[in-house]
Amino acid sequence: MRSVQAARLAATFALLAGFAAACGGPKTAPVSATASPAPAADGGEAAVKAVAPVDYADKANWLCRPEAQDACKADITATVVSFDGHLSREPFTADAKAAIDCFYVYSTASLDLTPNADMTPGPEEAAIVAQQLIRFGSACRLYAPLYRQVTLSAMRQMLAGQTPASDREMAYADVMAAWTHYLANDNAGRGVVLIGHDQGAGLLIRLIANEIDGKPAEDRLVSAILLGANLEIPQGHVVGGAFKNIPLCVSGEDVGCAIAYTSFRADAPPPAESVFGRSVEQGMAAACVNPAELDGSKGALKAYLPAVRVTTSGVDPPPWTTTGAAITTPFVAVPGLLTGKCVSALGFNYLAITINGDPTDARTDTIAGDLVIDGQIQPAWGLHLYDPNLAMGNLVAVVKSQAHAYAAREISRNQHPPDDK
């Protein structure tokens, strides 16, 4: 039995992280049991509300579209920092002829002071797509709808024990409307990768369970990348739980599968009160799929980390070298510094991040990524802020491999259509 304090932390973290259960899962089956739905203001369960979704035929309601000069055209050049402190620039080029699409729902980012965000993007929404999405543009065409998400302001109120009047159904209705518009007007039969982190991943888990899993749209699914949320799976299995038909990816050539993990430092595993990497449903576990195994890297993480602090809830990165060399790019790559391994211990499944620092060389021996509230690191959150960054290069490599596998599958299907007899 969890203590009252742990239960309250669970409910708070669920809202803050935007998990599917806190966003109102499908009414036919549980999607994510990371925590129970947050209580409504009247003390009852959060009710389903009828809200008018956004009109996604209006291009102004998208953060990113392939044909637009928008947030996804920002510079994401990286400085590669070698062990000896040598710096080199790694430019980025998107593939305008990519054969598949990526549909992305962003993390909790809005700095609006209202419980739900408006549809006017601020610099924070642009910053989050730079951190989590743009690099996938070398593998797919990018679609990212704006949506009226639960804001950081509402999250902070929840942490203070208040009950903000946030409307999670509004957020989900927007995401579903954007997906429906995309399928009807933009997809044109192309394969698609769904990508989300934090609140975005929670909303996508619900969307996939309700609208894709076992439905015609599943045929278009290349993969689903669902980070910083607990994707439930029966213990010891790769299919079942949140999704009935969509399995976890077990190789880089798998298609129609899901990748999910939450990350913690290897030397700071999740404390008992953490809700990341765990399930409260008997017989269920939180999925952990390591992209650095899927792409053949044997655990070596190809991280793209922010060169400077990009959130008020984090800390400044440490100096990248002991030489004091200036970093002038928005991202830093640190080949060989980080490895990841899925760990199952004490009821948690998580991606354990090991820092392979060498105090005798000229490169940093640590990274940022911890959540900080009132000046205090929050161990229960692990490296939540960096979940996508830690394996970004691996994830992009996996998506490229999956795109080839998906194309090969479609060619085979066209050459050998199923026998309808």
Model confidence pLDDT, tens digit, residues 43-86: 333 444 555 679 999 999 999 999 999 999 999 999 999 999 99
Q: Report, as an integer, the average pLDDT of 375-387.
A: 95
Output phi, psi for 332, to 5 deg.
-130, 135
Distance CA 253, CA 256 (A): 10
pLDDT confidence of residue 40: 34
**Could you tell me the sign of the dihedral formed by the alpha carbons of 289, 293, 295, 297, in that order?**
positive
pLDDT confidence of residue 418: 67
Residue 71 near residue 130 (C-beta atoms within 8 A): yes
pLDDT confidence of residue 417: 73
pLDDT confidence of residue 51: 57
Q: What crossing angle do the helices spanning 168-185 and 199-207 adopt, rounded to 10°?
A: 60
Distance CA 86, CA 100 (A): 36
Distance CA 350, CA 211 (A): 27
Q: Report, as an integer, the average pLDDT of 7-23.
A: 39
Asked whether the predicted pLDDT for residue 121 surpasses 70, the reply is yes
pLDDT confidence of residue 21: 35
Q: Report which secondary-structure segment, H or E, holds 81.
A: strand 78-81
pLDDT confidence of residue 176: 97
Cα 3 to Cα 9, 10, 282, 323, 377: the distances in Å are 10, 10, 17, 49, 22
Q: What is the mean pLDDT of the chain?
A: 88
Q: With bands split at pLDDT 50, 70 and 90, how would you rate the model's confidence at 158?
A: confident
Distance CA 306, CA 243 (A): 33
Cα 258 to Cα 148, 194, 220, 386: the distances in Å are 25, 9, 13, 19
